[in-house]
Chains A and B, each alone.
Chain A
Amino acid sequence: MAVKTLTIDGKAVSADENDTILQAATEAGIKIPTLCHLDGLGDVGACRLCITEVAGSNKLQPACVTKIAEGMEVKTNSERIQKYRIMILELLFAERNHVCAVCVANRHCDLQKLAADAGMMHVRFPYQYPQAAVDASHDWFVVDHNRCILCTRCVRVCDEVEGAHTWDVMGRGAGSRVITDLNQPWGTSETCTSCSKCVQVCPTGALSSKGKSVAEMVKKRDFVTYLVQTREERL
């Protein structure tokens, strides 16, 4: 595999020719905020938080799906990008009903952490207060749609790693919801194997385990890359 060199935020970085900007940055110790990306899952470039400026192009490129090129000059944290990132996070907070104080994922939430890191002090957009349900029909897990940000990590882990494809998305636009089987209570799903992979990969408190307190609802995600790599070794 050929090695290429590029510059990220002024730092000279070398990376494999098939790496994405995100992979190259991570290896070089440069942190780029992400939400829909999770190591081991297919990337969708949906949250737009990892957008970067690439010299020579006036289009912002998402780091998670953009392949590096020799001599590329990438900026990951310009003022413009910071401005856009905060706006995107604010849009998320205003879109559903995110109340950290009563959420089981408080202090262990990817969304919360990103907002804090980005310096989001308040939300300038009017809250939409959509009607969103809580489904506690499953014996062991709960899905709270008030906390869902439609990152689709649950859909992807269930499809790509577990293989059951219990989760998918229904509807369109802001009316989209993640669903199990034919939009039926999770507890009645015929395809769910109760493996809890979706709960672990969910960045917020949308998916959680029953009976866990706030302190206990820490998510473990290393299994994703472990399973994916072990499977590849077998093939």
Chain B
Amino acid sequence: MLLEELNAMADKEKAARKQIRIRCCMSAGCMSSQSAEIKQALDKAVADRQLGEQVEVVRVGCMGLCGQGPLVSIDPQGVLYEQVTPENAGSIVDALAGGTAYAQQGDPKNPFFTRQLAVVSRNGGRIDPERIEAYIEAGGYGALHHVLHELTPAQVVDAITKSGLRGRGGAGFPTGLKWATVAKSKGDRKYVICNGDEGDPGAFMDRSVLESDPHAVIEGMAIAGYAVGASHGYLYVRAEYPLAISRLQIAIRQAKQHGLLGEGLFESTFNFNVEIRIGAGAFVCGEETALMASIEGRRGQPRPRPPFPAESGLWGCPTLINNVETFANIVPIISQGAEWYAGLGTEKSKGTKVFALTGKIRNNGLIEVPMGITIREIVEDLGGGAPDGTQIKAVQTGGPSGGCIPAKLFDTPVDYDSLMKVGSIMGSGGMVVMDDSTNMVDVARFYMQFCMEESCGKCIPCRAGTVQMYNLLTKILDRKATLKDLESLEELCDMVKHTSLCGLGQTAPNPVISTLRYFRNEYLALLQPEPGEENASHNGHITESATTR
């Protein structure tokens, strides 16, 4: 593939564009609500009304407002339809010819859309993820060409470092530093791994990127391979994402066919191949060393670090592991420059973050916002606030490793350090909104049950500690626990946090610690007096009613 050929493909694709474009979301969420049938209905309606010359119906990826799906959008009019059905899909086409659409109209000017900043999600919902031509028309693979012909590997690492990009999987480790370490590590064979084992319940950002813009991730991995000296990549995707896996398989095949994966890319000496590896249902495999064990065909148990994967990873070789969203940021950084990226976000948290905004909130879906935006802006402006009659109580970030942030702290900016200060973490991007009907002790137990079931079993603090903590939380919820039990719970949290082998155990106590910090009264209200002390007063705690907040 030569640059001329790439540009020719882009031009050809552009020339074939029709005047009016109907975009139909076909990501997993909308597909489960019959968006495939909707597309068929739209195609048929266009054919029936003989509008094929002016109108095209395009399958696209995620448009973000998943709670109102299936979504259909019309360019250039900028009309949005929500909760479309196969029955009313035809009327959308009628409306183009002067008729009436019976589908519910959405508002593209809603802050949910207007307050977003699309970097990672730039192509999502706009291009057909199953056609490489569409990706190329949108500028795809141009960054790879630029890198191979105009930058040295060291310059690429430098650009990523200057951009300030931090790992989007949750830890926020400086990406440039990771790339530099792998690049420096000695070894004939190195690997690039994309961590698509998005296991946090409530998070589906990575699924959306893989289903909507798979080539962006592949191109990002290839650029990383060039930068660190790896010619082989693995895309580890969880088995629960069959559509993402299928779209990746199509994308890889198409990239190979066009010489954008394989030997001598763009007539350079750089070779890069990508293989998909499917997970098998283990949250712990999102941990780097467990993920590598899984690729090696073993039980997904983490191992002590050091040595870090950057020095000794897959089969003992230097390995670069990054999250899907991290890779999806690479092409924009290379195309638009590190300075541009470093101009987004805050001083220590550059760029944007994709969040899965779900729970008790009006607008459920995926949003991409600049770092530094406050939780309040996300909840009230983008999220549209609480559905009628409810009061939002807290927002949970970081999944089972994170914490709950109470409403009084909603002016906290969303960046790595600020979230840690209030006792939570950025995490991978899950953001669950909870209202006054949510029992925070129950939330803590929900996450502890998850950690207990997902614990790999290797180290004692996590394996046995999560069981004991889960039992204590159940005892509290069953109103059979005393203050001594609460103390025991807190002691266990401290021990498990500081002695566990890997991040799963180390962060399993976080939801408990965080809810104890901000919602301690909910715990205390459930406690019983010590046996034999039923009549003693405990500073009024035990007699507090359960409805006190």
Contacts and interface: CB of A to CB of B under 8 A. Distances in A.
B454 interface: yes
Interface in B80-106: none
A169 B299 contact: yes
A12 B467 CA distance: 41
Contact of A169 (B306, B455, B457): B457
Given A91-B468, A128-B467, A172 B499 contact: no
A98 to B, nearest CB: 13
Given A87-B491, A91-B464, A124-B488, A174 B498 contact: no
Contact of A92 (B457, B460, B499): B460
A33 interface: no
A173 interface: yes
Contact of B459 (A46, A60, A87): A46
Interface in B453-469: 453-461, 463-468
Contacts of A95: 460, 463-464, 467
A142 interface: no
Contact of A173 (B303, B454, B461, B500): B454
A224 B456 CA distance: 28
A88 interface: yes
A94 B459 CA distance: 15
Interface string B292-329: 00000001000110100000000000000000000000
Interface residues on B, range: 20 to 34
A176 B463 contact: yes
B487 to A, nearest CB: 10
A211 interface: no
B499 A46 contact: no
Contacts of B500: 48
A24 to B, nearest CB: 17
B36 interface: no
A94 B467 CA distance: 11
A91 B455 contact: no
A206 B454 CA distance: 25
Given A51-B499, A124-B488, A91 B465 contact: yes
Contact of A174 (B467, B491, B495): B467
B501 interface: yes
Contact of A87 (B282, B299, B492): B492
A149 B464 CA distance: 11
A48 B456 contact: no
Contact of B464 (A45, A66, A94, A171): A94
B34 interface: no
Contacts of B471: 126
Given A48-B499, A174-B457, A126 B304 contact: no
Q: Which residue, B460, B465, B466, has most C-beta atoms of chain A within 10 A?
A: B460
A48 B459 contact: yes
A176 B500 CA distance: 17
Contacts of A88: 460-461, 495, 499
B304 A91 contact: no
A125 B495 CA distance: 14
A68 to B, nearest CB: 12
B506 to A, nearest CB: 9
Interface string B141-167: 000000000000000000000000000
Given A91-B468, A124-B488, A172 B456 contact: yes
Nearest to B455: A173
Interface in B465-499: 465-468, 471, 488, 491-492, 495, 498-499
Interface in A133-183: 149-150, 169, 171-176
B452 interface: yes
Interface string A85-118: 0011001101100000000000000000000000
A65 interface: yes
B455 A125 contact: no
Contacts of A83: 495
B509 to A, nearest CB: 13
A45 B500 CA distance: 10
A10 B453 CA distance: 42
A160 to B, nearest CB: 15
Nearest to A95: B464
Contacts of B492: 87
Contacts of B499: 48, 51, 60, 84, 88
Given A47-B459, A94-B468, A126-B471, A173 B452 contact: yes
Contacts of B282: 172
A62 interface: yes
B239 to A, nearest CB: 16
Contact of A44 (B457, B458, B498): B458
A158 to B, nearest CB: 16
A125 B484 CA distance: 12
A13 B165 CA distance: 42
Given A65-B304, A87-B491, A173-B454, A60 B498 contact: yes
Interface in A213-233: none
A65 B289 CA distance: 15
Contact of A126 (B306, B457, B466, B468): B468
B304 A45 contact: yes
Nearest to A87: B495
A174 B464 contact: yes
B460 A46 contact: yes
Nearest to B498: A60
A226 to B, nearest CB: 27
Interface in B208-255: none
B468 A172 contact: no
A47 B303 contact: no
Contact of B452 (A94, A174, A176): A174
Given A87-B495, A174-B467, A176-B463, A45 B501 contact: yes
Nearest to B458: A46
Interface in B483-534: 488, 491-492, 495, 498-501
A150 B461 contact: no
Q: Which residue, A66, A91, A171, A173, has most C-beta atoms of chain B within 10 A?
A: A173
B197 to A, nearest CB: 15
A84 B461 CA distance: 9
B211 to A, nearest CB: 29
Contact of B455 (A92, A124, A172): A172
Given A83-B495, A91-B461, A174-B463, 15 more contacts: A46-B460, A46-B501, A48-B459, A48-B501, A60-B498, A65-B304, A67-B306, A84-B498, A88-B495, A91-B465, A95-B460, A95-B463, A128-B467, A173-B452, A173-B453
29 contacts: A44-B303, A44-B458, A45-B501, A47-B460, A48-B461, A51-B499, A60-B498, A62-B304, A62-B501, A66-B304, A83-B495, A87-B492, A87-B495, A88-B461, A88-B495, A91-B460, A91-B461, A91-B464, A91-B468, A94-B464, A95-B467, A125-B468, A171-B457, A172-B455, A173-B452, A173-B456, A174-B464, A175-B457, A176-B457
Closest 3 CB pairs of A and B: A91-B464, A176-B457, A45-B304
